[in-house]
Structure 1
Amino acid sequence: MASKGQAYTIKEKLKIVRRVREGESQAGVSCSTGIPAGTIRGWLKEEKKLQDLAFETHEIGVLQKRNKGATDSTLDAALFAWFTQSRNGGIPLSGEIVKIQGQKLSLDIHGPDDTFRASTGWLWRLQKRHGIKSFTVTRERRSPAPDAANAFPAILRELIESEGYNKEQIYNCNETGLYYKLLPDKNLGTKEDKQTGFKSAKQRVTVLLTCYKPGTHKLKPLVIGSAQNPSCFHHVNRETLPANYSASANARMTAKIF
């Protein structure tokens, strides 16, 4: 028997609706479950909305007691489609990445007059709506298969010979984030030392490192910062620096820079 004020999941509501659609009377379902007949009538009127919510949300979201729809359903659908595609491709996604993508998609959808802001509260509601949880990434799961890795050198060698590439066209590059003000998260000390915490410094640059085959010319590392003309470069000839410098928003790699 249902108690007064009891909340029901989307799955439970659809189950009651299905019983009525399959031939049971509303009065009979109400009597057997204790759910007021007026409540059941309301669910019947909202059947399409409930089905859409069940389809759009993750299974965990379907099992939640209350599932308020997104304020901007177009943005919500586009962002969740991007999220699903990215996760299926094995791309790790942090909350900040999702917020940046949400901001970008909203701007694409609504144009330059867009006033949307991807806040922490918005991210929390998105996660709750779609049953998105935070978890630790296990890198080994998607590591290359040994057989494929062992076979690749022969494939690469054949490609180099068939296309006629020379040594200067063969290179390997990778990028990494350098948090140049980040302090260690563990300290050495005696029992008498007072261990106090501190906020992690988030200032970072992106570094692109490239290597060629031995015997060919070398490339300088590429450093990407957030400022076009950092004050530390004033009166400095950049050509004499041991690295090339470029800039982008948030000091991230972009397609244009790459």
Structure 2
Amino acid sequence: EGTLHVYCYTLFPLPTPMTADISLLNSTANTLAQRKAFRGPQSGKFAELDDRIYEYVIEKRRDAMPITREIIRLRALELAKELHIPTNEFKASTGWCTRMMRRKGLTLRRRTSPSRYVLKLRKTHSYPLDQIGNADQTPVFFDMPTSVTVAKKGDKSVIVRSTGNEKNRFAVMLACLADGTKPPPYVILKHKTMPKETMPAGIIVRAQEKGWMDTDLVVDWLKVVWGRRRGALHKKINMLVLDAFRGHLTEPVKTQLRKMNGDLVIIPGGMTSQLQVLDVVVNKSFKDNLRKRYTEWLLSGDHSLTPTGKLQKPAVHLLCTWILQAWDAISQESIIHGFKKCCISNALDGSEDDILWEGLVEHHDKGVAENDDVEDVH
């Protein structure tokens, strides 16, 4: 716009007063264009409603929940009913939503890419590879029968023996570091109290009524597993990558990690199959190794029977032994490669970015579909 006025003035000289008016107009326009701060009313007609909406947004974002304008407008209509605001006075319009967001300092933000955030943290803190970790809990069942078996061709039914505990499960929290280190497994039994069995060395066992991680157990895991890795005693700066499980996002967990000089990176829901090392290179191999040991135990005949003649489920200490063996079978090289595959420990100069496109994980058949008629598997 300024160039255009200079060009016109060169060809057709204007009177001095008119030139001054144009300069003043340009100055005012530029000032308005550069003004970004909200200069409207600092409180709306329904201030309490605005406050309640703001608190709602902050609460949900604290748990990393996505909030859209539509969600805000729907929530506003619900709150308007609670506050007895007449429907003819408040419509939760798009314009109201925009003005309320400006008043409260809210805006639409694009989701931060985890890999970009990790890269930024690594450039800032230069974490050693033995201070970059990933952890995840995975369910383990007392019965792990294979989905296929060798049988006579043409059989109408194929039965695989089990102990009848296919639905009884517990959880295992596994963790690995970018240098290939494998901290001890952390087992959460579905019990109110700890069993009296003696557990093998090298594994940590806890009891929880639902058999799953909660905030208290995540904090405990940080203390007894993450807090005992090499360098933890000296509080070396570290980075821990977790999924968006609610128990990972609570304030006690964040506080404990801050005490340990750690940075928390959360993988968004739906992205763990690409960005979580344990999902990419560990969990399937770990489960396959567990199933192998379960099958060997089933074939060995070295198990007890119930009073009704059924197989007893494997003892907890035996399952813990299998977990240790399956965990030991995971190679350090695959873990190191997995961190690079997930773009967590790649060279910062970009020289290892090609690893992202390598076919590290082979796609396996998902098993035979469950049909009324048994299919032959060749």
Larger RCO: 1 or 2 (CA < 8 Å, sep 6+): 2
TM-score (norm 1): 0.34
User: Which of the pair has more CA radius of gyration?
Assistant: 2
